[in-house]
Amino acid sequence: MALNDDRFQEERPRLGCGRELDDLWASIDDPPTAHEQSCPDCRHARAALHHLASVTEAMRDADPQDPGLQPGDRVRNAIMMVARAEVRRGRRAPLRTTTLGTIDISEQALTALIRFAAGTLPGVHARRCTISTSGEGRRRPIAGEAVDVGDIRITLKVAVASSISIPATMVALRERVGTVVQAQTSITMAQIDIVVEDLYDV
């Protein structure tokens, strides 16, 4: 259909000899074919594309080094100001009650502690960590509400090095996380599930 042909021409530019520009570009680093050596359209386009390729490469190399082509500090500051103001602390776990009130640890601080503990084992990169308690059912947890510290269950996702023994490392990891959290917060976790989701070095 004529309309489709026109649209095709519009979308995929061709040289005077009928060849698609994209095809020519794909073989720009190969030696010219017999047709390209004899066809003036191809010869001219090849030279022009070759030149464009070298200037493009120069731009690709020069731009990231150019201090004038970096966003100013105000950009990072503005983004981080919003990010810090919107830190999702999640629920809170009461650790101890004193005469001055209750000392809580936020879900966010607890998961950070768990990731820290996991990261002390060689070959383990701790990723996402979720905390659940058996009592909450299917209800979505509400930020700021208190959780039952006697029934904390975690699921920790990790990426591991391809060289480690996964079963032995998982035993050590479960023990390390449990010990560090117990020592730092006095929370004894009811369940520690670990999911190996990736090998980070392959």
Partner 1 sequence: MARTESPAEAAPSPVTSVPLADLDESTIVARAQDGDPKAFEWLISAHQGGVYRLCFRMLDDRGHAEDIVQETFIAAWRGLPHLATVQAFVPWLYRTATNKCLDQLRQRKRRPVDPTAELDGTSMEVGGNPSSGEDPTRSPLLSSRGRSALADGGPVDPAEQIETQEQLRALAGLLQTVPPGPRACWLLREVHGFSYHEIAAIVQLPESTVRGRIARAKRVLAEGMSPWR
The number of residues that bind partner 1 (CB under 8 A) is 75
Check residue 2 for interaction with partner 1 (CB under 8 A). no
Q: What is the three-class DSSP state of 148?
A: coil
Nearer to partner 1, 27 or 56 (CB): 56
Tokens standing for residue 102 = 């209750």
For residue 176, the minimal CB distance to partner 1 (Å) is 9
* Single residue of 105, 147, 154, 189 touching partner 1 by CB under 8 A: 105
How is 18-76 classified by DSSP, letter by letter? S-BHHHHHHTTTSPPPHHHHH-HHHHHHHHHHHHHHHHHHHHHHHGGG-GGGS--HHHH
- The CA distance from 121 to 108, in Å, is 21
Nearer to partner 1, 35 or 51 (CB): 51
* Single residue of 89, 146, 148, 195 touching partner 1 by CB under 8 A: 89
Which residues are bridge partners to 131 per DSSP? 154
Note the residue count of the chain.
202
Return the H-helix or E-strand segment holding 93: strand 92-98
What is the contact mask toward partner 1 in residues 34 to 73, using x (rule: CB under 8 A)? -----------x-xxx-xx--xx-xxx-xxxxxxxxxxx-
Residues 140-199, interacting with partner 1 (CB under 8 A)? 157, 159, 180, 183-184, 198
Check residue 83 for interaction with partner 1 (CB under 8 A). yes
* Single residue of 3, 34, 87, 168 touching partner 1 by CB under 8 A: 87
Q: Are 197 and 157 in contact (CB under 8 A)?
A: yes
* Single residue of 30, 74, 99, 163 touching partner 1 by CB under 8 A: 74
- The CA distance from 22 to 11, in Å, is 11
Nearer to partner 1, 35 or 44 (CB): 44
Check residue 18 for interaction with partner 1 (CB under 8 A). no
